[in-house]
A = this chain, B = another copy of it.
């Protein structure tokens, strides 16, 4: 069975296909590729698993391939340039289509390359990680990191379609699955309490990779994301809610050196920090925090920041967040579970207390680890 959702963006609208075995059923999606030239961009982990199947699915087209190293530490301008070099060496012109085959890093870089090559060409997303399937492949945010800030260089560039073959999750490493679950849980927390309850009820099945349950989680996440993106493509308002935990999370990723934390892991810790600050701001209950923490723990996600990271590190790195306006930090906080807001209405004292408490927890955990 193949499910189709649509991201409604006028002339930039596109379908998301979700189903088992979609890689081997190009008849479902091949018409969304308008060009004869296609350039598959993937990485050294995904290529041995799926590249040949995609090449087969694209039989008849003029296919070129670029295989990048795997990891967030390669999401930069230098690696991006390898895509441009491949395109020029293969003489791809303004009507080519780039195919992003991989996780969020591949999707973000391929989309950004498509936004910039000859000032803009088509691309399609074939996400192969849970995180990319539920979040980063949908909505047209593309880009690379800068050593001083994550995702600081990029473009809004919508794909022509998103092809989610849920079978690809069978080859996913456990920590990658957990990282994806962090984003799944995020959707429940910001906008849909019922979905949060559903996740709590179905977490074991998700972790056991039950195909029907995974497909349902992906469907609901894509549905929420498509709706939010349709309303606010370039993040002038509501779309920022999707970044719950991301300001803290990006600081952790930048601090640790890209690639040492998975994005979803950093988002989990960031979400707990946002929840803690929400509680200190008088919104969430302590029991809500415990409930989120329990869920992340079950999902095998980290709960505390890197032990050596200080409040000053957080403040310095968060100062360049894309949501900063006129020097004023804005954060996504939770009014209650399933109801998020973008706000600068939090006290700096409360923020400092949140960070200090988390750092204390991290230190305690590190000491405990040393003791055992």
Least Cβ distance of A261 to chain B in Å?
20
Secondary structure of the A side of the interface? mixed
List 26 A-B pairs, Cβ < 8 Å.
A36-B326, A77-B77, A77-B78, A77-B80, A77-B81, A81-B146, A84-B152, A84-B153, A85-B148, A88-B149, A88-B320, A91-B319, A91-B320, A93-B320, A93-B324, A93-B325, A93-B327, A94-B322, A95-B325, A95-B326, A116-B143, A119-B154, A119-B156, A119-B322, A120-B234, A155-B155
In whole angstroms, how far apart are the Cα atoms of A51 and B250 in the complex? 35
| Complex A-B, nearest 8 residue pairs according to Cβ-Cβ distance, in ascending order | A88-B148, A93-B324, A118-B322, A119-B154, A116-B153, A77-B77, A91-B319, A84-B146
- The interface residues of chain B lying within 8 Å CB-to-CB of A234 are 119-120
Oligomer copy total: 2
| Residues of A bordering B, CB below 8 Å | 36, 77-78, 80-81, 84-85, 88-89, 91, 93-95, 115-120, 141, 143, 146, 148-149, 152-156, 234, 319-320, 322-327
In whole angstroms, how far apart are the Cα atoms of A78 and B76 in the complex? 11
- Given A85-B148, A324-B93, A326-B36, does the pair A143, B156 have CB atoms closer than 8 Å? no
Least Cβ distance of A108 to chain B in Å?
11
